[in-house]
Each structure stands twice: as C-alpha cells, then as structure tokens.
C-alpha cells in the first residue's frame, strides 16, 4: 500500500497485480507517508482503516490528516487463472518458501490450496482480490478500479486523476508473463481456481479462455453486487 498526503491518494497493493512497478514510480513523488502503513506490503483497505487511529501521530491529529474519506483510492485486479500461474512461478523461481520444495508441480500446488494446506492459504496472493478492496459491508471502497491487463493505460488515467501525471516506463513482468497461462492448466486445475475465486471471477468479468476481462471497468466503481449483472456496462462503454 502507498499513502500520499500531498496528492491525497491511497494505492491498495493487491499482490501479483503489477504493484511493485506502481510502487516504484509512486516512491519518486513527494508526500508518501510511511508511518501510516503496516509492516506488510499487502494490507487490505479495511485493515488499514481499522488501524489508522493507532498509527496517526499528534501532528496528523492536529492537522486533521485522515485518509478515510478524503483520499483518492485505487487498485488493480487481474485474471485469477493468470494470477495463480504467476504466483506459482514466483514461488518456484525465487524459492521464497522452504515448503515449495515439497510441491511437485503447479497442479499439485493448486490441489494443496484446495485441500487447505496452511502455508498456502496464509500466502497474501491466495486470498481473494475482493478481500483487499471491500469493507465489512461488502462495499468496494475505491475511486478507481484498474486492470493488470491494461496497467499502463489505467495507471496513466489514475495519476492524471490525482493530479500528478505519470508513466509506467517499465512494468515488472517476469519471463512467466511471456508464457500463455492457459497452457499450464488442465480441466481439474481450471475448476479449482474457478471454485476458489468464483465471486471475483464473476464480479471482475474474467473467464479462463481470455486474460482480459469481458467487461473492462477502468474507472470509478460503487458496489460489488452491481458488477456481475451488467448494470455497470455504461461505465465500461464510456472508458473502454
């Protein structure tokens, strides 16, 4: 997460969605307030709001600095099948966890996730993307929802909106992203991801057969429940 008091924005970093590249460029502008953030890079928006009061300094209180309602909030979402493929590649390439040595294949990894193996379920990246974006009333509290699949264009529009036009000159895409994620799946694997991430697949408009969403939002959104039935189609047509 990045919180900026000068341009008044909050970037919610959903893991494996291009957030490192976004954070890298946001770190170059003035106003970042690190003491408001959690030790984890991947705090949910709900947790951030819940914990803000304990992190605020006396100066924050005197100057009434409170991002809970005033700040421009944005995040990016990604096709869940592509996202899980990227996660597995990251874990095996970086050997980020000792437990990875016992994972025989991508399919085995997904099967263990389905079985509820603790170390996998505790990974930030196996949580639903919705968990990072929703508050307790199931409301997505964002001013702009972008897509990983349109990261450069969406980020340009976002930075324009918060008043500091920026360009992502280099997106952190690994060799993995050059491989079609669909070639790594069989029918069982497709269903595991579809079952675990069913709500976000429906709400974000993703399907296995194509990486980009059926409905591109790339703009302001209101409620999670509005997305799946096409009621937001006017907004999609406007920005696509």
Specify the pLDDT at position 62: 45
Q: CA end-to-end span of the chain, whole Å?
A: 26
Q: Distance between CA atoms of 8 and 67, rounded to whole angstroms?
A: 7
Specify the pLDDT at position 151: 95
- Please give the radius of gyration of the chain, using alpha carbons only, rounded to the nearest integer: 18
Mean pLDDT of the chain: 82
> On the CB side of 143, how many CA atoms lie within 13 Å of its CA?
17
Specify the pLDDT at position 216: 85
- Say if CB 64 and CB 48 are below 8 A apart: no
Residues of the chain with pLDDT under 70: 34-41, 53, 55-69, 170-178, 221-240
Q: Distance between CA atoms of 105 and 117, rounded to whole angstroms?
A: 15
> On the CB side of 14, how many CA atoms lie within 13 Å of its CA?
26
pTM of the model: 0.83
Alpha helices in 95-138 (DSSP H): 106-115, 118-121, 129-133
Domain ranges of the chain: 2-239
Specify the pLDDT at position 199: 93
Specify the pLDDT at position 220: 73
């Amino acid at each position: 997460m990045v919180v900026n008091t000068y341009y008044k924005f909050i970037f919610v970093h959903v893991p494996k969605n291009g957030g490192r590249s976004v954070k890298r460029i946001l770190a170059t502008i003035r106003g970042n307030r690190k003491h408001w953030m959690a030790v984890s890079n991947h705090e949910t928006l709900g947790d951030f709001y819940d914990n803000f009061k304990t992190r605020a300094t006396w100066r924050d209180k005197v100057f009434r600095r409170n991002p809970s309602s005033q700040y421009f909030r944005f995040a990016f979402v990604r096709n869940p099948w592509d996202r899980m493929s990227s996660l597995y590649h990251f874990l095996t390439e970086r050997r980020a966890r000792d437990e990875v040595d016992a994972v025989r294949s991508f399919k085995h990894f997904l099967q263990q996730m389905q079985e509820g193996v603790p170390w996998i379920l505790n990974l930030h990246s196996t949580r639903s993307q919705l968990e990072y974006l929703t508050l307790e009333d199931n409301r997505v509290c964002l001013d702009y929802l972008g897509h990983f699949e349109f990261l450069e264009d969406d980020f340009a529009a976002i930075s324009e909106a918060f008043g500091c036009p920026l360009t992502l000159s280099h997106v952190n895409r690994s060799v993995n992203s050059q491989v079609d994620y669909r070639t790594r799946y069989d029918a069982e694997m497709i269903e595991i991801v579809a079952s675990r991430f069913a709500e976000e697949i429906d709400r974000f408009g993703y399907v296995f057969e194509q990486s980009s969403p059926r409905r591109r939002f790339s703009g302001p959104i209101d409620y999670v429940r509005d997305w799946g039935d096409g009621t937001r189609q006017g907004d999609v047509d406007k920005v696509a």
